A and B are shown apart, each in its own frame.
Chain A
């Protein structure tokens, strides 16, 4: 299983090597090399996976199925895009003296560790190891978020560290509870946290304990996803972190955290009626969607704008998973992919604008189309994709989610609870209608807010003293590719990706 070992070894060696190197070109070369190895390994894994089905590797430590392979695909693609973008971004920051050249290798080291932790979280068979890796992502990224060492970035970093550590600790309690329930069924202590083992006995686990465990894990990993009400660190961190780091946070880390929740959910769904997890996911999804839509409307800082848009889209994906069924789940997964592409693009554009205009205030940025035509294009495309407008694949995934919502409604039926105290007897149909209306209204609000702000930034004349030209750089390549992918995926999903998505959907749907 050389490709699985390469997944872990590449970022590990690249990280170690980066610490010993000081030349910028060399650091970038190491980074691109490691990314190339990663992507190659991922392609090989995808092929094996699609040919032979799920498999374990490295003494049962690694488990790869369609779901984790799909997540690996997102990590690889966005990671590669970031690496290209970093080439132009970091060099400019060093040239401007924002980053001391001596600290560049630290940046790369942390970046590799961040990647490594996310990969381990994705491929780990044991839920416990997955927890360790997700906590490690927090540790690797705190310094990346506070990399500018300004007061604001330190504040954002501290908030991120504390909130996520606490959230993650609650998730550990959930993992302990899961282990507690599985120990009674599984005799092999060392394997009792492995997904492969848990899935075989999941229907015999104690439902009480599992419910409690799921709540803890949802709150814990939900903090890392940035679901409302555990989201307060997210806008701050996204504003302060360097652009490539934010692209990774928004594009990949959120996806990996969602993945951790979904893994747990599959196990819980075997023993507990689907309505329990579905209802909770949809609840958090709606909370995130509605809150984020409101904040998008009143935002005057473009990085925070995109941050809240992240919360909104994670909310939409959560609603998709919560509603469940083949359509909702497929839509949710597809939406994760689309959001990862669109959002990393948006933050690349935001990074470019910030470097040129030196402000994050929307009101002070005008005429990006004259000053930075390429960036303006990227900003427009990502804005439209994030608003889920037709030529982009995010439109397709959002339509899938909303169709599932309108046809199936949210499981668990909050309004017509039979056992609880809430007995407002509303018909099932009305509930579906009402929820769909709330969904569409929030999306419309977010659309209005986003497009209004972005057009305000793109058109007009730039303020005096802003350089009005943009030379081609390597950083534009990933933007073009991502934009192309977003358009192409809406009409044609490449067969391997489609297969991955379909198989992942069948893993997640338990009836």
Chain B
């Protein structure tokens, strides 16, 4: 079936909206392992978006990026995080700095802010992915918020990864992907960062008997 450019834009739009939707689910989710599952789901949507844009625009290197996302963010990173969670033996996060409904409201506000910021620069974009840039910025801000609002080291990490997903969506949407060498570098960095953070969480657990980052108060003025 021939996909018309007009319908193509709608599909890309839909995929970006799905990414945003999973963001909200992550914010509302208290169970650590479900957060990781949702992250994997979000990455899967990202793969679909990237592949879709690649197909619609004929940018071959976006397929590579999509494949890398599939391998790294859908499979490897969630596996690593699951391992970490298993070892930590913490199932859920009982306390958050912000309760869920407030958190959701704040996130809604952040999405509005993102649209507000992106508004002036959207018209210069490609027709195909216009709205995705604003959505991507929204995801970045929500990831940022998750890192601030959550206490567990693992959820902070998930927040960081969500943020990265937003960035990747931005790169896919705004510019049909970055130059390949940059993209490879970014993937490499994200993977290493996750591994390092995973090792860290283990060491924090050993040293503090806990991975609540609000216990990290030895250092202060």
Contact = CB atoms under 8 A, between A and B. Distances in A.
B201 to A, nearest CB: 9
Interface string B161-180: 00110010011001100111
A296 B174 CA distance: 44
Given A149-B203, A212-B121, A126 B181 contact: yes
Interface string B94-137: 00000000000000000000000100110011000000010001
Nearest to A236: B219
A121 B26 CA distance: 34
Chain A CB within 10 Å — which of B120, B140, B218 has the most? Answer: B218
Given A129-B181, A162-B156, A166-B144, A139 B120 contact: no
A511 to B, nearest CB: 27
B219 A152 contact: yes
Interface stretch (B1-9, B39-47, B67-75, B190-198): B190-198
Contact of B174 (A146, A166, A177, A190): A177
Contact of A154 (B164, B171, B197, B207): B207
Nearest to A139: B192
A357 interface: no
B125 A158 contact: no
Interface residues of A, number: 53
Nearest to A188: B179
A159 interface: yes
A132 B163 contact: no
B213 interface: yes
Contact of B204 (A154, A179, A193, A209): A154
A239 B218 CA distance: 12
A157 interface: yes
A159 B182 contact: no
Given A155-B204, A295-B221, 19 more contacts: A128-B179, A128-B181, A135-B189, A136-B189, A139-B192, A143-B196, A149-B203, A154-B203, A154-B207, A158-B204, A159-B216, A169-B163, A176-B170, A176-B174, A180-B133, A180-B174, A180-B175, A192-B179, A209-B124
Interface of B: 117, 120-121, 124-125, 133, 137, 140, 144, 147, 153, 156, 160, 163-164, 167, 170-171, 174-175, 178-182, 185-186, 188-189, 192-193, 196-197, 200, 203-204, 207-208, 213, 216, 218-219, 221
25 contacts: A131-B186, A135-B193, A139-B193, A143-B196, A149-B207, A151-B207, A151-B208, A151-B218, A152-B219, A154-B204, A161-B196, A166-B147, A169-B160, A169-B164, A169-B167, A173-B140, A176-B167, A176-B178, A180-B124, A180-B125, A180-B133, A180-B174, A193-B178, A235-B219, A240-B219
Interface of A: 126, 128-129, 131-133, 135-136, 138-139, 142-143, 146, 149-152, 154-159, 161-162, 165-166, 169-170, 172-173, 175-177, 179-181, 183-184, 189-190, 192-193, 206, 208-209, 212, 235-236, 239-240, 295, 298
